[in-house]
Amino acid sequence: MSAPGRLQEILLTTLQQIGWVESAASHTYLAIALGSIVILAALMFYVANSVLRSTVANMVARSKSHWDDELYQHGFFFHLAHMVPAVVIQLLTPQLLEPGLFISAFVSKAALVYLIVAGLLTLNALLNTVGDLYNQSELARRAPITGFIQVVKLVLAIVALLIVIANLLDRSPIILLSGLGAVTAVLMLVFKDAILGFVAGIQIAANRMVTNGDWIEMAKYGADGTVLEVGLTTVKVQNWDNTITTIPTYALISESFKNWRGMQESSGRRIKRSLLINLQSVRFCDDEQLQRFKQIRYISQYVENKVSELARYHQDNQITEQDLLNARRLTNLGTFRAYMEQYLRHHKAIHQEMTLMVRQLAPSEKGLPLEIYCFSSDKNWVNYEKIQADLFDHFIAMLPVFDLLPYQAISDQVSIDRTV
């Protein structure tokens, strides 16, 4: 007699001797057999879970590796323990229950579904572990794989669902796959975001458009901060106010956004800001001013060279200084612009190997803009703002030295009665 018949015979004989049942088809026998299967499965789960938790926990605590800690935290061993009772039910059901009975088929199908779900959760825990370990490496900044892991999870879930449905319907999964052509349009609609996100993820990874840790700006979605995760359907961005913005992944290839990674990887961060000068304060320099400007360390040589250059020009062209129409003279604005440039070239916080200039922009009703265009050696946001503020504090304070005035719109002044 085969093993299944042997186990059934032992249980049936024992119950008959007690006087509880008469045959294997009785409801009492079926209830006892089914209860025995459930109890044994629960007992095996308890044993497997206890052994795995205690043994694995000790191994993880003693191990110097990090991957086993991630497996434990993601519940890999817990889900793995769930596969044990599923296998026990699968093995005991045909041994204790008649194969032709409805209850036997139902329990076998339920056990297979249980096994598939437990296996799927185990694989998901493994994939989560792989993703977390990868994201902790430097390679994740160049090529994030979160989206691809989500694609694998989706494919595994679809395969598991097909196997479950095929098991419940007693049909081959291949037959179910052949019938998917009729519902392709529906599937395309249901998984539209996933499909678009998968295609976008490939382009993003191939072109290194966005990686975890990048600072991006996307005004349409209110995103201005650090990329936390590039997923299959969404990209998570932590804004500077610590709010989280989610952006559709495919939007990164269909719409424009600003990525500050180039600045972060370069050796400097750009300073580009203008100082508005009151046009009415711009004038030619007189001798008193020139003598005063020669005492300023950064431009003393510049003033002397320019005075000599203009003197030679006037002499060569037989122009007197009283000839206002043809004479060339220094202005307080041009001298101040030269001072600003020399000050930047002697500033330790300014990158001297990158573009550095002070230029005039087109004048407007708000005055004449003098724009500083240079790069800070320190890219840290807080330090960068301090450097920029210190520069303009100094330049604004130096305006009176050059007899210049900043532009400021006149506003109504309201007197405040401070009498208590």
Q: Is position 414 within any domain?
A: no
Q: Are 283 and 331 in contact (CB under 8 A)?
A: yes
Name the residue range of residue 147's domain.
142-259
* 276 & 246 share domain: no
pLDDT category at 359 given cuts 50, 70, 90 is very high
Q: Are 370 and 274 in contact (CB under 8 A)?
A: yes
Of 18-27, 198-207, 276-285, which range is least confident?
A: 18-27
Q: Is position 409 within any domain?
A: no
Q: What percent of the chain has pLDDT over 90?
A: 33
Of 13-27, 196-210, 338-352, which range is least confident?
A: 13-27
State if pTM tops 0.85. no
**H/E element, 142:** helix 139-142
Domain boundary among 136, 152, 177: 136
Q: Are 344 and 298 in contact (CB under 8 A)?
A: no
Q: Are 214 and 225 in contact (CB under 8 A)?
A: no
* 339 & 380 share domain: yes
**Cα separation, 120 vs 159, whole angstroms:** 10
- What pLDDT score was predicted for residue 62? 72
Kindly state the average pLDDT of the residues 1-14. 53
Q: Is position 410 within any domain?
A: no
CATH of the domain at 248: 2.30.30.60
Q: Is position 232 within any domain?
A: yes
Alpha-carbon torsion 101, 107, 110, 112, what sign?
negative
pLDDT category at 42 given cuts 50, 70, 90 is confident
**Cα separation, 366 vs 375, whole angstroms:** 26
Q: Where are the alpha helices (DSSP H) in 294-356?
A: 300-316, 332-345
Domains: count for the chain: 3
* 76 & 151 share domain: no
- What pLDDT score was predicted for residue 243? 94
- What pLDDT score was predicted for residue 21? 59
Residue 370 has pLDDT above 80, yes or no: yes
pLDDT digits (tens, 9 = 90+) for 384-400: 999 999 999 999 999 99
pLDDT category at 2 given cuts 50, 70, 90 is very low
Q: Is position 374 within any domain?
A: yes
Domain boundary among 136, 170, 190: 136
* 324 & 211 share domain: no
- What pLDDT score was predicted for residue 411? 62
- What pLDDT score was predicted for residue 75? 80
Q: Is position 124 within any domain?
A: yes
Q: Which amino acid is at 197?
A: G
Kindly state the average pLDDT of the residues 69-86. 82
Q: Is position 45 within any domain?
A: yes
Mean pLDDT of the chain: 82
Query: Which residue has better confidence, 328 or 125?
Result: 125
* 192 & 235 share domain: yes
Q: Tokens 């559709």 label which residue? A: 248
- What pLDDT score was predicted for residue 221? 92
Residue 208 has pLDDT above 70, yes or no: yes
User: DSSP string spanning 352-376?
Assistant: TTS--EEEE---BTTBEEEEEEEEE
* 5 & 130 share domain: yes
Kindly state the average pLDDT of the residues 201-226. 85
* 295 & 344 share domain: yes
